[in-house]
């Protein structure tokens, strides 16, 4: 493994005892902060008859109320803010599926906290002072562009803020400005790779790719690494925890995502009972933010499914817990013909077929009450629908219909890719 560089060696390699002591102090403090500064939080605590003074050790976290996206939506726009409105200096927002957005306000201190988490990720990927970093996620309400920006400033990188779109120009700028680090939503990283392939061009200075916001299969990771000639990292975070990078990334050992435990407490809870599951068992990641002021989340039910890979010190020297790459969200799970599966499994299966390209659609058809699945995938002419059906049967246990398209024929979205579509009597949506 390459020599490790740290943004904050003391924090990143703190002993487990030190981390637990920081977390307990943080938990007591943040519980008191939300309880005293916001009536919605106070009512939630009161409804369970719990007061922040009852937190004596880390296990007491389970006495606190669990919150979810609905709590954030119901309190749109600033109903959960725990600071004076004049202390809010920035906001980001995610649109979600129901229409009512989720808003995350930041104080100046919260922006520093975000920058610190992100800067640690850049260093963990091997980015050094002055390295040109190309930031391809959009700069706007989506937290991606600004998060990569704040962290790059803190880490002393040279920012090339291209934002989303215009892939041919992205490649040209990467060549002209000798981009060493590229940051992107996973499917956009794939797009950049495709354009380079079409142009038969190379970016010899590009060494590091930091990708996230969508599930990242090993197969796709391998393809991007090869196609771009880089080492790829899987970065994690969400609007509610303060944005990209707040929840960490994998290090160069690539054995799980390190979550910054001096800033967050991780719980993995059973989907049904909401009780903690043992390490190694899949459950819903539930997060408490310890160091954010404007809107700290308490036991936030992320809906993302993962498990604890290890709590041991990693070969990179970092001591922070490692989580498995995100399987998907609980609401992404598809149930067809009695089989439960995630879009990530379909992608992994498709990529094992030689000649299959990177763009695909999962179409759930429900015509006159009968549910079926059709997989549309871009591929070379040697790939047939039968090959797709056979491969998916092995993985899923039933045969979806497979349709093969020429590379470039299926639609693409800016930002996160839409993979799952529904088709009924009224058409595709
Ligand atoms: O997607 C933050 C982000 C931006 C992460 C750029 C990485 C790169 P949201 O739009 O609020 O924030 O969406 C958060 O996206 O709950 C996960 O379901 C999913 N997600 C984020 N990162 C990953 C990842 C950004 N590395 C939601 N792997 C989360 C799988 C991810 N899913």
Same domain, 238 and 357: no
Same domain as 175, residue 303: yes
The closest residue, in CA terms, to atom 1 on ligand 1 is 213
- Could you tell me the CA-to-CA distances from 129 to 93, 155, 158, 181, 252 in Å, in that order? 30, 6, 8, 12, 18
What is the pLDDT at residue 98? Answer: 63
- For residue 170, give Cα distances in angstroms to 136, 166, 178, 189, 310: 8, 6, 12, 11, 37
Widest CA span in the chain: 66
Would you give per-residue pLDDT tens digits along the chain (429 residues)?
678 899 999 999 999 999 999 999 999 999 999 999 999 999 999 999 999 999 999 999 999 999 999 999 999 999 999 999 999 999 999 976 567 899 999 999 999 999 999 999 999 999 999 999 999 999 999 999 999 999 999 999 999 999 999 999 999 999 999 999 999 999 999 999 999 988 888 899 999 999 999 999 999 999 999 999 999 999 999 999 999 999 999 999 999 999 999 999 999 999 999 999 999 999 999 999 999 999 999 999 999 999 999 999 999 999 999 999 999 999 999 988 888 999 999 999 999 999 999 999 999 998 888 888 999 999 999 999 999 999 999 988 888 999 999 999 999 988 899 999 999 888 888
Atom of ligand 1 nearest to the CA of 215: 30
Is there a domain that residue 3 lies in? Answer: no
* Pair (267, 345) in one structural domain: no
Query: What angle is formed at CA 114 by the lines to CA 110 and CA 116, rounded to 5 degrees?
Result: 115
Please give the pLDDT value at position 4. 85
Its pTM stands at: 0.96
- The residue behind tokens 């007491």 is 60
CA atoms of 270 and 268, how far apart (whole Å): 7
Cβ atoms of 32 and 39 closer than 8 Å: no
- The reply to whether 1 falls in a domain is no
Residue among 228, 295, 349 nearest 88 (CA):
295
CA distances from 153 to 9, 45, 122, 156, 178 (A): 18, 38, 11, 5, 18
CATH of the domain at 361: 3.30.300.30
- The total number of structural domains that make up the chain: 2
Cα Rg for the chain, rounded, in angstroms? 22
Same domain, 157 and 238: yes
Q: What is the pLDDT of residue 425?
A: 83
Mutate to test the pocket of ligand 1, among 143, 213, 250, 347 (most ligand atoms within 8 A of CB): 213
Note whether 374 and 306 are same-domain residues: no
Residue 97: the pLDDT is: 59
Instruction: Answer with the one of 306, 329, 352 that is the final residue of a domain.
Output: 329
Do residue 249 and residue 177 come from a single domain? yes
Residue 243 CA, closest ligand 1 atom number: 2
Task: Say yes or no: 76 and 205 in one domain.
Answer: yes
* Residue 4 maps to a domain: no
Does 397 map to a domain?
A: yes
Same domain assignment for residues 280 and 350: no
Domain with residue 157: its CATH number is 3.40.50.12780
Q: Are residues 155 and 18 in the same domain?
A: yes
Residue 281 lies in a domain: yes
Which residue, 329, 363, 388, sits at the end of a domain? 329
The number of the ligand 1 atom at minimal distance from the alpha carbon of 148 is 6
* Last residue in a domain, options 329, 350, 384: 329
Q: Which residue range is the domain that position 222 belongs to? A: 9-329
- Please indicate, yes or no, whether residues 259 and 275 belong to a single structural domain of this protein: yes
Same domain (yes/no): 221, 76 = yes
Of 327, 374, 379, the residue nearest 353 (C-alpha): 379
Domain-located, residue 383: yes
Residues 322 and 338 in one domain: no
User: What is the reported pLDDT for 414?
Assistant: 83
d(CA 44, CA 138): 35
Name the residue at shortest CA distance from atom 21 of ligand 1.
213
Q: How do residues 224-254 score in pLDDT, each as one tens digit?
A: 999 999 999 999 999 999 999 999 999 999 9
Residue 222, strand partner residues? none
Q: Is residue 255 part of a domain?
A: yes
């Amino acid at each position: 493994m390459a020599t490790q560089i740290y943004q904050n060696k003391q924090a990143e390699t703190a002993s487990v005892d030190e981390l637990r002591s920081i977390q307990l102090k943080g938990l007591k403090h943040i519980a008191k902060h939300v309880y005293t500064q916001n009536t919605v939080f106070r009512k939630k605590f009161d409804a369970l008859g719990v007061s922040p003074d009852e937190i004596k050790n880390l296990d007491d976290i389970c006495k606190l109320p669990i919150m979810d996206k609905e709590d954030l939506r119901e309190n749109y726009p600033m109903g959960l803010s725990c600071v004076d409105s004049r202390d809010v200096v920035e906001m980001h927002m995610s649109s979600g599926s129901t229409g009512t957005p989720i808003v995350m306000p930041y104080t100046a201190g919260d922006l520093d906290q975000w920058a610190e988490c992100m800067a640690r990720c850049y260093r963990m990927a091997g980015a050094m002072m002055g390295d040109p970093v190309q930031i391809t996620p959009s700069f706007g309400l989506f937290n991606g562009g600004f998060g990569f920006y704040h962290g790059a400033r803190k880490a002393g990188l040279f920012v090339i803020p291209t934002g989303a779109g215009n892939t041919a120009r992205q490649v040209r700028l990467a060549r002209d400005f000798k981009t060493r680090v590229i940051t992107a939503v996973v499917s956009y990283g794939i797009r950049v790779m495709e354009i380079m392939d079409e142009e038969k061009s190379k970016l010899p200075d590009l060494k590091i790719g930091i990708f996230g916001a969508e599930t990242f299969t090993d197969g796709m990771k391998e393809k991007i690494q090869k196609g771009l000639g880089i080492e790829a990292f899987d970065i994690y975070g969400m609007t509610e925890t303060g944005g990209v990078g707040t929840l960490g990334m994998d290090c160069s050992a690539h054995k799980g995502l390190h979550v910054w435990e001096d800033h967050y407490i991780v719980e993995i809870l059973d989907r049904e009972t909401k009780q903690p599951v043992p390490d190694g068992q899949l459950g819903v990641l539930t997060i408490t933010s310890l160091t954010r002021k404007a809107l700290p989340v308490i036991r936030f039910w992320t809906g993302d499914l993962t498990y604890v890979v290890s709590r041991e010190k990693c070969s990179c020297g970092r001591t922070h817990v490692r989580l498995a790459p995100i399987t998907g969200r609980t609401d992404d799970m598809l149930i067809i013909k009695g089989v439960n599966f995630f879009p990530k499994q379909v992608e992994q299966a498709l990529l094992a077929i030689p000649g299959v390209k990177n763009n695909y659609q999962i179409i759930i058809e429900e015509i006159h009450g009968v549910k079926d699945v059709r997989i549309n995938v871009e591929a070379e002419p040697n790939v047939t629908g039968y090959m797709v059906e056979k491969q998916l049967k092995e993985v899923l246990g039933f045969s979806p219909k497979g349709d093969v398209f020429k590379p470039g024929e299926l639609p693409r979205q800016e930002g996160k890719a839409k993979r799952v579509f529904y088709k009924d009597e009224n058409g595709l949506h």
